[in-house]
Amino acid sequence: MVNHKMTFEKPKFQAIHIALATWLCASSTSLLAENPVDLVPDLCTDAREAKNYNTDFLDNFLTLKQGNKGWLFRDEDLKTSFGPNNAGLTGLKRLKNNLQKYGTQLVMVPIPTRGIIHPEQLGALSYDVQQGRLTYQRFLENLRKIGIVVPKLHVLFTKPRKNLLFFARDHHWNHNGARQIAKLTSKALVANPAYAKLTKNNFKTRYAGNQNNNGSLQRAAETICGSAYPNEIYKEYRTENIDDVDPFAEGQAPQVVLVGTSNSNGNLHFNFDGFIRQYSHVDVINFAESGGGYGGAIKQYLTSEHFKNTPPLFIIWELPSYYSLSNGDFFDELLLKMGEPS
């Protein structure tokens, strides 16, 4: 609700004020980005009941909770346990070993959850942030112990920043999150000995304008509560090869391939692959897919003729860290289709 602290004696000023408030509620311009909290409704009590999450879409957002300054969270944002069980960790090690037989290094980018990145937005919600961060860091270390390349994503907990890395009411990162995590991913690539084998190019990133996002969490809240939320503004960027080199030139195999989720390749364009190009100075071929969960894109790519005929030096696997990767059957099936050597 808009809090009117001033009154005007003249009717024409009252009319102007009312008209302006009405326009603000309907608008999705940058004015909302500057001060969206005034227009954000309280989450209704129906959102507390699991029975109201009764569609395939709503089932992804069990259960919505109200944070600070217009933020919405769901249960997966507030996990305090991360990483796979023994079956999942064994599967990951088998996958890493099999890729190495193709000369391919596996890079994993488990995106930290919104709760451990932005605890200042939790408001009155009860959540053990330190426990969540501790188990997340342990997850990253366990991946490194089995030989997987992992960016130093834990620095996001202590690194000073001016901008939010996630939307207030959407499960994706925003353009700032994509840029910061791409920068850390690029540092991990550059530090790896195999980086010396990559063809280097120069890339330039340009600002491509503002876009509106009717976030996934707010759409779930709107469906359950019948309320209306303002869109959130984010910036779009495009990265171009300024050396004028065609990465798909005949006979040229991809050297770095990205697989992942809608964070990397979806309706909302965050330029994660482009930022990696910019900071690492190497080209990235994007095979991520929207709606495939943690494993859809990597399974499709690794079982394709494209991979078998021209395996890259690096595969970057982006996935949200709320996926536990504990499904041993997933790795059994994937490795069987890849033709895992005995």
Per residue in 267-308, pLDDT (tens digit) is 999 999 999 999 999 999 999 999 999 999 999 999 999 999
**pLDDT for position 252:** 66
Q: pLDDT by residue (tens digit) across 232-247? A: 999 999 999 997 666 5
Q: Tell me the two tokens of residue 196.
A: 């010396």
Q: How many CB atoms lie within 10 A of CB 147?
A: 13
Q: Which of 251, 314, 320, 250 is nearest to 285 (CA)?
A: 314
Residue 86 within any structural domain of the chain: yes
**pLDDT for position 97:** 97
**Domain tally, the chain:** 1
Degrees, nearest 5: CA angle 82-266-79? 15
Residue 71 within any structural domain of the chain: no
Residue 17 within any structural domain of the chain: no
**pLDDT for position 160:** 81
Q: Give the C-alpha separation, 214 to 320, whole Å.
A: 20
One-letter amino acid of 50: A
Q: Give the C-alpha separation, 177 to 316, whole Å.
A: 17
Residue 89 to residues 113, 140, 318: CA-CA distances in angstroms? 20, 12, 17
Record the pTM: 0.87
Q: Tell me the two tokens of residue 9.
A: 């004696």
Residue 104 DSSP symbol: -
Instruction: Give residue 175's domain range.
Output: 82-214+231-338
**pLDDT for position 162:** 87
Q: How many CB atoms lie within 10 A of CB 105?
A: 22
Residue 260 within any structural domain of the chain: yes
**pLDDT for position 279:** 98
Q: Tell me the average confidence (pLDDT) per consecutive run of 10 residues in the chain, 342 residues long.
A: 34 36 38 54 95 96 95 97 96 97 97 97 96 98 98 93 94 97 98 96 96 97 96 96 67 85 95 98 95 94 94 97 95 91 60
* Burial environment of residue 84 by CB neighbours within 10 A (0 to 12, 13 to 18, 19 or more): buried
Residue 154 to residues 120, 139, 140, 151, 157: CA-CA distances in angstroms? 17, 11, 9, 9, 6
Residue 51 within any structural domain of the chain: no
Residue 12 within any structural domain of the chain: no
